């Protein structure tokens, strides 16, 4: 008989997201492409906003002062927003106000970058016609009133071009945008793309929690490995989907307030809401749920170092939808203190350990691939030392890569030399090479005058390149 699962699947839904083996981390229904007619004025502003509009003409963000003019005449829809109960409309409103607020606040920083190649200072006051309805709709979703990854920028921002096809980024358009260019679409929609395999990942975890014998445990781990391989295959397409030299065409608009004092100073005042400046982290791919879920399930989380960087990681958890926070928390409770590792050890499950090692390898490749994106998309484009979420770019991802590699070393120690399931000697060499790569990169990054191209080239020299 299968083991009962303690998870209450009803806890993982807010009617927009419904986390399970069917939907994964994607919305259960496609987001609205446009707002209802009563919000036409707001929708027109969203459509007119991008640097390049859908018709190819220049939008408001292509000219200094234009987004400010557009916002100055916008009606305050706070009363209409207050009465909304439909989750799809609420989410679409959150997305619209998130994009509009970031466009308005960060427009000066954007134009300063065009002039100087350095980010300038943002507006410090968000006008009431944005701030008041934005706060209202954010309370309905129980999230911070700022640009986020789930409801606004990525997972809640796709429109299928052909409904008969899947979630490949080539089949996805953006409901709201900043640059309006293909590189922005590829960058954002690729995150939706990789999440099409999150149902298989979640399903594999649920299967493991029900498994009562070695065969079923290993089948669940095989399923998890399969999902992670597919996720990594799609992730690598980022190099083709979004050219790294064009990341700064839109990057400044996804900067958060918290951790970016150079741009926002003490924070932003939400006019009509409070006279006290507030600070929120910006949206970031680190708010995606795939790797946190994999970390919790496999036990990588137990290898996180105790430092401020790990605190940043845990802080980002509060920027997720509550239903996803609940899911991650309950999975953590279910897996306990490295439950998977200990169960495999107690049962002397050699094949299971080999599968775990391969899953950890996929987690490494995901993180090292992300690290390579940082090297090219950010470090080669700007010396600005902060990520969009406000974390330090040079040390943030290496902190997590180190955790994975240390765990891999402990796992492989328990795999017999003569195992038929993988080549242990080859894996040992690979782990050592990965550690050596990271150490050499961090040595090059010591100091402010690093050469990003030199850091990036080490990946290819050591045959660990992602592109």
pLDDT digits (tens, 9 = 90+) for 231-281: 999 999 999 999 888 888 888 999 999 988 899 999 999 999 999 999 999
Whether the Cβ atoms of residue 436 and residue 360 lie closer than 8 Å to each other: no
Task: Tell me how crowded residue 66 is: count the other CB atoms within 10 A of its CB.
Answer: 16
- The length of the chain is 467
Distance CA 184, CA 159 (A): 14
**Of 259, 243, 184, nearest to 373 (Cα)?**
243
Q: What is the pLDDT of residues 5-25, one digit of tens each?
A: 678 777 899 999 999 999 999
Distance CA 272, CA 172 (A): 37
Whether the Cβ atoms of residue 269 and residue 125 lie closer than 8 Å to each other: yes
* Cα distances (angstroms) measured from residue 6 to each of 1, 11, 206, 311: 15, 12, 10, 28
Distance CA 456, CA 453 (A): 5
- pLDDT computed for residue 284 by the predictor: 83
Cross-strand pairs, 52: 58
358: tokens are 């391969």
Tokens 């900067």 belong to which residue? 255
Whether the Cβ atoms of residue 297 and residue 205 lie closer than 8 Å to each other: yes
CATH 1.20.58.480 is the classification of domain 25-461:
yes
86: tokens are 């439909």
Enter the DSSP assignment of 367.
H
- pLDDT computed for residue 5 by the predictor: 66
Tokens 């775990």 belong to which residue? 356
- pLDDT computed for residue 361 by the predictor: 97
Give every CB contact of residue 396 below 8 A, 6+ residues apart in sequence.
Answer: 286, 309, 312, 387
Domain ranges of the chain: 25-461
- pLDDT computed for residue 337 by the predictor: 79
What is the Cα 78 distance to its own chain's centre? Answer: 30
Q: List, for the chain, all residue ranges whose pLDDT scores fall below the cut of 70.
A: 1-5, 383-393, 395, 447-448, 467
Distance CA 315, CA 287 (A): 10
Task: Tell me how crowded residue 238 is: count the other CB atoms within 10 A of its CB.
Answer: 25
Q: What is the CA radius of gyration of the chain?
A: 23
What is the Cα 185 distance to its own chain's centre? Answer: 15
Cross-strand pairs, 160: 172
Distance CA 147, CA 100 (A): 9
Give every CB contact of residue 380 below 8 A, 6+ residues apart in sequence.
Answer: 244, 452, 453, 456
Distance CA 406, CA 375 (A): 23
- pLDDT computed for residue 461 by the predictor: 92
Distance CA 282, CA 153 (A): 10
In what helix (H) or strand (E) does residue 220 lie, and over which residues does it extend?
A: helix 214-235
- pLDDT computed for residue 1 by the predictor: 40
Distance CA 56, CA 345 (A): 60
- pLDDT computed for residue 387 by the predictor: 54
Whether the Cβ atoms of residue 74 and residue 41 lie closer than 8 Å to each other: yes
Distance CA 40, CA 46 (A): 10
């Amino acid at each position: 008989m299968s083991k009962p699962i303690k998870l209450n699947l009803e806890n993982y839904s807010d009617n927009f997201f419904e986390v399970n083996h069917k939907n994964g981390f994607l919305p259960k229904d496609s987001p609205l492409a446009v707002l209802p007619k009563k919000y036409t004025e707001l929708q027109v502003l969203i459509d007119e906003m991008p640097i390049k509009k859908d018709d190819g003409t220049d939008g408001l963000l292509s000219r200094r002062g234009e987004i400010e003019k557009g916002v100055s005449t916008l009606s305050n829809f706070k009363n209409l927003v207050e009465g909304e109960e439909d989750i799809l409309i609420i989410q679409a409103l959150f997305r619209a106000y998130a994009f509009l607020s970031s466009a308005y606040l960060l427009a000066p920083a954007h134009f300063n970058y065009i002039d100087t190649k350095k980010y300038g200072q943002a507006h410090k006051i968000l006008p009431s016609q944005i701030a008041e309805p934005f706060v209202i709709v954010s309370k309905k979703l129980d999230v911070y009133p700022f640009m986020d990854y789930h409801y606004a920028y990525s997972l809640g921002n796709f429109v299928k071009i052909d409904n008969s096809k899947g979630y490949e980024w080539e089949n996805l358009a953006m409901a709201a945008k900043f640059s309006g260019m293909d590189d922005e679409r590829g960058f954002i929609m690729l995150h939706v793309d990789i999440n099409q395999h999150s149902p298989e990942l979640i399903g594999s975890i649920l299967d493991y929690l029900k498994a009562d014998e070695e065969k079923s445990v290993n089948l669940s781990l095989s399923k998890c490995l399969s999902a992670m391989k597919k996720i990594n295959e799609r992730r690598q397409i980022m190099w083709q989907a979004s050219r790294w030299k064009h990341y700064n065409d839109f990057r400044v608009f996804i900067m958060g307030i918290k951790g970016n004092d150079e741009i926002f100073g003490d924070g932003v005042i939400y006019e009509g809401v409070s006279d006290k400046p507030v600070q929120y982290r910006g949206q970031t791919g680190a708010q995606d749920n795939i790797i946190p879920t994999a970390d919790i399930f496999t036990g990588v989380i137990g290898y996180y170092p105790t430092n401020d960087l790990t605190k940043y990681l845990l802080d980002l958890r509060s920027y997720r939808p509550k239903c996803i926070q609940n899911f991650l928390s309950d999975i953590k409770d279910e897996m306990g203190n490295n439950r998977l590792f200990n169960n495999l050890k107690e049962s002397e499950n050699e094949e299971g350990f080999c599968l775990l090692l391969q899953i950890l390898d996929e987690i490494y490749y995901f993180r090292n691939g992300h690290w390579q994106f940082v090297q090219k998309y950010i470090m080669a484009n700007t010396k600005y030392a902060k990520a969009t979420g406000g974390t330090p770019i040079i040390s943030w991802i290496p902190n997590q890569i180190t955790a994975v590699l240390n765990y891999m070393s402990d796992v492989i120690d328990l795999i017999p030399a003569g195992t038929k399931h993988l080549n242990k000697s080859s894996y040992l060499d690979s782990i050592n090479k990965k550690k050596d790569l990271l150490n050499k990169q961090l040595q090059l990054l010591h100091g402010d005058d690093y050469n990003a191209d030199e850091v990036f080239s080490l990946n290819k020299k050591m045959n660990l390149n992602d592109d």
